[in-house]
Amino acid sequence: MLPGGWAPAEVACSAGRITSIDPIGTHDDVVNLGAMALAPGYVDVQINGGYGHDFTASPKTIWEVGARLPATGVTAFVPTIITGPKETARAALAAARAAPKDYLGSSVLGLHFEGPVLSPQNPGAHDPAYLSTDVPLDVWLDPLARIVTMATELVEPTVISDLAAHGVVVALGHTNGTFEDANSAFDAGARHVTHLFNAMPPIRHRSPGPIVAALLNSSVTVGVIPDGIHVHAGVLELVSRSVGPGRLIALTDAIAAMGMPPGDYRVGPLTAYSDGVSMKLPDGTYAGSILTMDRAVRFLIGEVGLTPFEAIASASTTPAALLGDESRGSIRPGARADLVVLDSDYHVDTTLIGGTIVHGGPA
């Protein structure tokens, strides 16, 4: 999967980077993938935990989960810390700076802080007791803060513009704002929407709300949870047709129950129940997902009707571009050799990070 589409080629790697892309037959020491395909490694910009671990409750488990994510094709991720006690965010920053020795797993690209400045009308699975309009700039301006999700109508536009000026991706989410509020935030520098449709006002023909504002703004990317639960496949098809290539981002919003049997699991300060299909709070509110990125890609291809190139780009190229990371998300000379080998049904066969096989391997 090259920047222009699918093509037969030999991809040469050295010292963790792609050094060249050559015609078939150029090299002698080639691993022939046969009917399988080579794609850029997936980048998950919103994942709250997995395999029994919740990043907000236990930030140190970022690395344990990261070591297992390559099995799902994820070569880099932005651990998400949701609303909780103030000390939680600082503990997460410390944990993200303390990579274990000889760590082999998905790269941690910084943190995604979802909250605490969220709308009380659309808290989702965030504990209302910890919601606040006090902007924690000491946390949000930390160099490891890559994404901040907020109800942008609750802050002054200067907060958004200051964060954007420092390279922080400001995302609109868990909002009760209007079409006009959303456009004001985008004008100030917000450029992403967290899990479109979920935890925000719906589209109404006389009150279009933030969803329509995002879809109409060519500088804004929209994150979706493509599991067939959070958003209907038909609506995702409509969104993909509306935004076109380069603006749709597949994310998992996975929580501790991902990869685990049904049962009760932490969601920050709260507890939710997994029935093996979805996660819900006791009142029936959806609480993240148990989706993996490889399943998200297959759903976009098989149920939404995206081409494989479009679906894979939404999980790799576009999220990397959102983060301003030119080293990931594409197969081209100079890019990191973060790669995933997919079989004909788009299941993950092998994952490489920096040219090193960390999951699977050639027969």
Is the bond preceding 100 in cis, omega lying within 30 degrees of 0? no
Per the annotation, the verdict on 134 as an active-site residue is: no
Tokens of 338: 């973060």
Burial 247-278 (b: 16+ CB within 10 A, else e): bbbbbbbbbbbbbbeeeebbbbbbebebeeeb
Cα 307 to Cα 359: distance, rounded to the nearest angstrom: 25
User: Which of these is catalytic: 181, 253, 294, 338?
Assistant: 253
Residue 339, beta-bridge partner list: 40, 352
Active-site residue list: 253
